[in-house]
Amino acid sequence: MAADPAPAALDRLVIRKPDDWHIHLRDGAMLRAALPYTAAQFARGIIMPNLVPPVTTVEAAAGYRDRILAALPEGMRFTPLMTCYLTDATSPDEIERGFAEKVWIAAKLYPAGATTNSHAGVTDLATIAPVLERMERIGMPLLIHGEVTDPAVDIFDREAVFMETKLLPLLARHQGLKVTVEHATTAEILDVVRANAPRVAATITPHHLVINRTHIFQGGLRPHLYCLPVAKRERHRLALRKAATSGEECFYLGTDTAPHPVGAKESACGCAGVFCGPTALQTYVQVFDEEGALDRFEGFASLRGARFHGLEPNADTITLERRPGRVATCVAVDDTEVVVFRGDETLPWTIGRA
C-alpha cells in the first residue's frame, strides 16, 4: 500500500497583526526613520525608555509618546506602549501614578552600565525594593535586561550570573511580581522562566534565533551583529528556537530592534544593537517554517504577549507569503544611514497583502 503523500507546504499565512514587546525607536531623525518599519509589521509595541536623558517621569513618557505618534507616516497606525526607566531614585508614587494614568504599561530595569544608555540605571536591587513592592501590589510588570556588569565576569556568562545572583533572589522576594526577562539568550534562563511561569515570561529576538557567537567573527569582525546580551553558543541558539516554536505560553515576540548610525557601529568602540525591525517577521516566520511550527506562529507573535500584559489581541491581520524578497540594505537618517539586519540577503518569506 502506498504511503500517504506529504502535506503540501503552506505558502501563505494570515495571522492577527502582531505586537513587538521590545522596541528601541530613539528620537528625532532616527525615530522618524525607524518607526515606519516597525509600524508596518506591528500594531503595538513596548517602547524602551533609554533615551538621553532617560524617560524617568510620567511627563517625559507622555511627551515621548506624543513625539512617536507625531512621527507616524500618514495612513499608518501604531500604538506605543510606554515604560519607565528605573533608577536608584525612582519614586514608588511616581510609578503608581504613571500606571494608574495608563501612561506606563511597565517599568524597565537596566543594571547600570549593562547596555546602551544604561549608566543611569539601577546600581543595587536593594535600592528599588520599595518600587518593586509597589509594582507587585498594583500588578505592574517589570521588564529586565538580565546581565551583571562586573567586568570580572566573562561577557558570555553575564546572563547566567545575573540569573543566579539577581533574578532568582528577586523572584523569591517578590513572589507576586510579574516579570519579563527580555531578549533571553541562554538555555538556562529559559528553564528559569518555565519554572516560574505564568508570572514570569521571556521575549526572544529574531537575531538570536538565527545567529550564534561565531557569526559575529565569521571571516572578520561583524559589528552589525553585535548586541547585548551578545549571541551565545550554538546550543543556546537551538534552545531558543525550541522555546519560541514550542507553543509554551511564557515565550513571546520581542525584537529588541535597535538602530544606530553606521559610524557608531563601525568604530573603535562600536555600539550594541541590531536594527532588525524591517526584517523581523520575515525572520521569525522563516524559523517557524524551518522548525515545522507555522501553526504556532500566531500564538508567539500575536497572542501571548498581549495576554501577559492584559490586552486584547489585535483585530487587524497581516499576511506572510513564502516568496523570495529583499528589503533595503540600509535606511537613510539625515546624512548617515543604519544597516538593516539581513538586508543583504534574499529572504524566503515576505510581507504580503491581506
Q: What value does the mean pLDDT take over residues 77-101?
A: 98
Residue 35 annotated as lining a ligand binding site: no
Q: Which three cell numbers stand for residue 13?
A: 499565512
- 108: which strand partners? 85, 143
pLDDT at 91 over 90: yes
Listing DSSP states for 167-205 in one string gives IHHHHHH-TT--EEE-S---HHHHHHHHHHTTTEEEEE-
* pLDDT, tens digit (0-9, with 9 covering 90-100), for 131-153: 999 999 999 999 999 999 999 99
pLDDT at 6 over 60: no
Give the pLDDT band of residue 5 (cuts 50, 70, 90): very low
d(CA 54, CA 61): 9
d(CA 333, CA 338): 7
User: Domain 18-315 adopts which CATH fold?
Assistant: TIM Barrel (3.20.20)
Q: How is the chain split into domains, by residue range?
A: 18-315
Give the pLDDT band of residue 10 (cuts 50, 70, 90): confident
Q: What value does the mean pLDDT take over residues 22-33?
A: 98
Q: What pLDDT is stored for residue 9 in this prediction?
A: 67
**Which residue bears the cell 546572563?**
159
Residue 50 annotated as lining a ligand binding site: yes
Give the pLDDT band of residue 1 (cuts 50, 70, 90): very low
pLDDT at 2 over 60: no
Alpha-carbon 1 to chain mean position: 50
The one catalytic residue among 256, 316, 335, 344: 256
Q: What pLDDT is stored for residue 15 in this prediction?
A: 97
Mean pLDDT of the chain: 96
Residue 24 annotated as lining a ligand binding site: yes
Residue 166 annotated as lining a ligand binding site: no
* pLDDT, tens digit (0-9, with 9 covering 90-100), for 250-266: 999 999 999 999 999 99
- 202: which strand partners? 181, 251
pLDDT at 283 over 70: yes
Q: What pLDDT is stored for residue 328 in this prediction?
A: 93
Residue 108 annotated as lining a ligand binding site: yes
Residue 309 annotated as lining a ligand binding site: no
Q: What pLDDT is stored for residue 282 in this prediction?
A: 98
* pLDDT, tens digit (0-9, with 9 covering 90-100), for 189-241: 999 999 999 999 999 999 999 999 999 999 999 999 999 999 999 999 999 99
Q: Which three cell numbers stand for residue 15?
A: 495571522
Active site residue 88: no
